[in-house]
Chain A
Amino acid sequence: MIISNMEEIPGKPVLRHLGVVQGSTVQTKNLFRDFGAGLKNLIGGELKSYTALMNEARHEAVNRMTREAVAIGANAVVNVRFATSTITGGAAEILAYGTAVVIEGGADG
C-alpha cells in the first residue's frame, strides 16, 4: 500500500480511480497527562503529551483511511491531505483524506 500526498506515483501510472477515501478520529486531552502540562502554562515550551496525542490521532486517521482504501480494492492512496478542527470542550477532530487508486505494478517498492 502506497500512501502519498503527490498527485501521481513516479513510474507507476494510475490504472483506475476509485474515489475519495477518508479516516478521522476525535481526540480529547487526557486530564492526567494535562497535570504536568499545567506548569507549561507558566514557562512555555513543548507540550510533549499533546504532541504524542496528536501524532497517535493522525496515525489512526491514516490507518482508517488506508483500511477503507484496501476494502474497495485500491493499492495506493494519492493526494492525501490532513485537516484538523477543534470542537468545543477541548476536543479535536483529525481528518485524513485522499484519492484511492489502482496503480500499475502493485504496491511494492
Chain B
Amino acid sequence: MVELWIDLILGVGIPLVLLVLGFVVGSWAERRHFRRLIENEEKLRGIMGFAIRRAPRDLDLAAPKLVTGSAVISVDYFKRFAAGLRHLIGGRVGAYESLFERARREAVVRMKEEARAHGADMILNIKFETVRIFGRQRGGILSVEALAYGTAYRTGHAGPQIPQS
C-alpha cells in the first residue's frame, strides 16, 4: 500500500507539480517579457528598420555598420507538455509560436540598441535567422535562437526635399 502511494507521488505528483509550476511561472515570465518588449520597442521607435536591399537614392546615408541582435529563449515544462499533446492531433502549436515571437522581437530590440549606440537612426536590409540550438541531445535544453541583422546608417538631414509652394 505504501509502495503504491510512493509510486503515485513519483509518477503523477511530481510531473503535476512541475506542470503547474511551469505554467504559472512560465506564463508570468512571458507576460512580463511582452510588457518589457512593448516598452523597449516604444523607446526605439526613432530607429527605423527596413527590409530593403538597396539604399533609397534620395537619402544621405553615412557610417554604415553591420548590427546584430539575438536572443535565446527556452521553452518551459508546461509548453513542452502542451506541444506534446498537440503533436498527437497536429495543427498550430500556439505554445511555441509565442516563443519564436519573443525571441525575434527581442532580437530586433537588441539590434536597434546596437544601432543607437553607433549613433545610427536607420537600419536597412534587415534579415532574420532562426536556429534551434543545442536541441535535446545530451540532455540539452530545447531552445530557439533568433538573430536579426542589418546595416545601420546615420541619415543626413538633407533627406527627401519637400518642394516649397
Residues on the A chain within 8 Å of B30, using CB: 44
Residues on the B chain within 8 Å of A44, using CB: 22, 25-26, 29-30, 73-77, 79, 99
Cross-chain contact B71 with A42 (CB below 8 angstroms): no
- The SS class assigned to the A binding surface is mixed
The residue in chain B whose Cβ has the minimal distance to the Cβ of A49 is B72
Cross-chain contact B72 with A46 (CB below 8 angstroms): yes
Cross-chain contact B26 with A86 (CB below 8 angstroms): no
Which A84-105 residues sit within 8 Å CB-CB of chain B?
84, 86, 88-90, 92
CA distance A12 to B70 in the complex (A): 30
The residue in chain B whose Cβ has the minimal distance to the Cβ of A86 is B133
Residue B121 lies at the interface, judged by CB distance under 8 Å to chain A: no
CA distance A86 to B140 in the complex (A): 13
Q: Contact check: which of A2, A38, A55, A90 meets B70 at CB < 8 Å?
A: A55
Residues on the B chain within 8 Å of A92, using CB: 131, 133-134
Given A42-B77, A54-B145, A90 contacting B25 (CB threshold 8 A): no
B residues in contact (CB < 8 Å) with A: 18, 21-22, 25-26, 29-30, 33, 53-55, 59, 61-66, 68, 70-77, 79, 99, 106, 124-125, 127, 129, 131-135, 137-138, 140-141, 143, 145, 147, 149-151, 153
A residues in contact (CB < 8 Å) with B: 2-11, 29, 37-38, 40-47, 50-51, 54-55, 58, 62, 80-84, 86, 88-90, 92, 109
For the complex with contacts A50-B145, A84-B131, A90-B135, 14 further pairs of A-B residues with Cβ separation under 8 Å are: A8-B55, A9-B64, A10-B61, A29-B134, A42-B25, A42-B77, A44-B77, A45-B33, A45-B76, A46-B72, A50-B133, A54-B70, A86-B132, A92-B134
